[in-house]
């Protein structure tokens, strides 16, 4: 989890206040469990300067009812989310059986948590900080900005049963 002494929830479960609306075959708790167990990049959609959707992939870690990502401060996605925080996301593995969670969210940029979130992402996706990629990312950690996605909706889908062999 992301190290932050101000708020350090011990699980990926959503808090009672400000809970997102959950729809689909999974309960809200099941959707958060999936997000906690599924280490694939999150697909994020935000609005570009011309008003068109921009779709990109980011690593994420669920914590405290939010999805936390990080990016370098000068990245286009950071500028776009600063201007328009409304966005959408999807987390779904590419291999069958097709299942996942998508939703709408509001993004908040949190520069002071950039390095902590980066370290949590490296643990989740790289297994630690010793890979060449991890060392390179950490060499510029002071430029990272945390992106907090607060879901307003969680929509799940699960085609596991319909994709099983007869």
Record the pTM: 0.87
Contacts (Cβ under 8 Å, ≥6 apart) of 126: 133, 134
Contacts (Cβ under 8 Å, ≥6 apart) of 100: 34, 38, 90, 91, 92, 93, 156, 157
Contacts (Cβ under 8 Å, ≥6 apart) of 10: 1
What are 60-87's pLDDT values in tens digits? 999 999 999 999 999 999 999 999 999 9
Q: In this structure, is residue 91 part of a structural domain?
A: yes
pLDDT band at residue 15 using 50, 70 and 90 as cut-offs: very low
Round to whole Å and give the CA distance between 108 and 96. Answer: 33
Whether the pLDDT of residue 6 is over 50: the answer is no
Structural domain span for residue 74: 21-157
Q: Which residues pair with 102 in a beta bridge?
A: 90, 155
Q: Parallel, antiparallel, or unpaired for β 53-58 and 61-63?
A: unpaired
Q: What is the CATH number of the domain that holds 103?
A: 2.30.110.10
Q: Which residues pair with 134 in a beta bridge?
A: none
Q: In this structure, is residue 15 part of a structural domain?
A: no
pLDDT band at residue 5 using 50, 70 and 90 as cut-offs: very low
Q: In this structure, is residue 88 part of a structural domain?
A: yes
- Asked whether the beta carbons of 129 and 135 are under 8 A apart, the reply is yes
Percent of the chain with pLDDT over 90: 79
Q: In this structure, is residue 76 part of a structural domain?
A: yes
Q: Residue 33 in 3-state DSSP?
A: helix
What are 114-150's pLDDT values in tens digits? 999 999 999 999 999 999 999 999 899 999 999 999 9
Q: In this structure, is residue 60 part of a structural domain?
A: yes
Count up the domains in the chain and report the number.
1
- Asked whether the beta carbons of 88 and 150 are under 8 A apart, the reply is no
């Amino acid at each position: 989890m992301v190290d932050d002494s101000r708020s350090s929830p011990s699980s990926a479960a959503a808090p009672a206040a400000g809970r997102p609306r959950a729809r689909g075959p999974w309960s809200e708790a099941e959707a958060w469990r999936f997000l906690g167990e599924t280490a694939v990049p999150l697909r994020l959609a935000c609005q570009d300067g011309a008003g068109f959707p921009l779709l990109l992939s980011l690593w994420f870690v669920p914590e405290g009812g939010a999805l936390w990502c990080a990016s370098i401060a000068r990245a286009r996605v950071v500028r776009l989310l600063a201007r328009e925080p409304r966005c959408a996301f999807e987390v779904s593995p590419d291999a069958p059986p097709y299942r996942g969670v998508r939703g709408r969210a509001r993004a908040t940029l949190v520069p002071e948590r950039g390095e902590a979130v980066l370290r949590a992402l490296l643990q989740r996706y790289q297994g630690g900080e010793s890979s060449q990629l991890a060392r390179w990312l950490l060499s510029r950690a002071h430029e990272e900005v945390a992106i907090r996605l607060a879901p307003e909706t969680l929509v799940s889908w699960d085609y596991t049963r319909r994709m099983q062999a007869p």
